[in-house]
């Protein structure tokens, strides 16, 4: 089984987001990295779901083609909405931290909040 260029690009997107979460010290960059990683995961799920067929799943007796499964589409739509709400919640948390701290660097926030 060979890996396609599209799959490699999606995997690279997920890895960029993952390493951004781990390596970046700024909280805003961590949130953006998480969004990049979730976009890659959703893109991979769409790629895998589209392998079955590309046509709209409308029952029709005139032609026999491979239909796309509608269940992954609903799951992806739910994942997008949940990801958006989590991102909004994290941004609110960062806004509250920004009120009390002059920086959003994690090491500086840890230094100022440790006893």
- All structural domains of the chain, each given as residue ranges with its CATH number in brackets, are 5-113 (1.10.287.3510)
What was the pLDDT predicted at 1?
53
Model confidence, pTM:
0.80
Beta bridge partners of 5: none
Q: Which H or E run contains 78?
A: helix 70-100
Q: Compute and round to an integer the Cα radius of gyration of the chain.
A: 20
What end-to-end distance do the CA atoms of the chain give, in Å?
Answer: 55
By C-alpha distance, which of 10, 19, 13, 87 is closest to 45? 10
Q: What is the pLDDT of residue 49?
A: 78
pLDDT tens string, the chain, 115 residues long: the values are 567 899 999 999 999 999 999 999 999 999 999 999 999 999 998 888 777 777 777 767 777 777 777 788 788 899 999 999 999 999 999 999 888 888 889 888 888 877 7
Chain length of the chain = 115
């Amino acid at each position: 089984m060979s890996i396609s260029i599209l799959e490699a690009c999606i995997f690279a997107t997920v890895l960029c987001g993952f390493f951004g979460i781990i390596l970046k010290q700024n909280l805003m960059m961590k949130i953006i990295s998480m969004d990049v990683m979730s976009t890659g995961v959703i893109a991979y799920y769409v790629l895998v779901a589209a392998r079955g067929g590309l046509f709209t799943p409308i029952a029709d007796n005139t032609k026999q083609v491979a239909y796309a499964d509608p269940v992954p589409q609903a799951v992806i739509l739910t994942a997008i909405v949940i990801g958006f709400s989590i991102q909004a919640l994290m941004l609110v948390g960062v806004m509250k931290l920004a009120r009390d701290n002059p920086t959003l660097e994690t090491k500086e926030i840890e230094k100022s909040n440790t006893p």
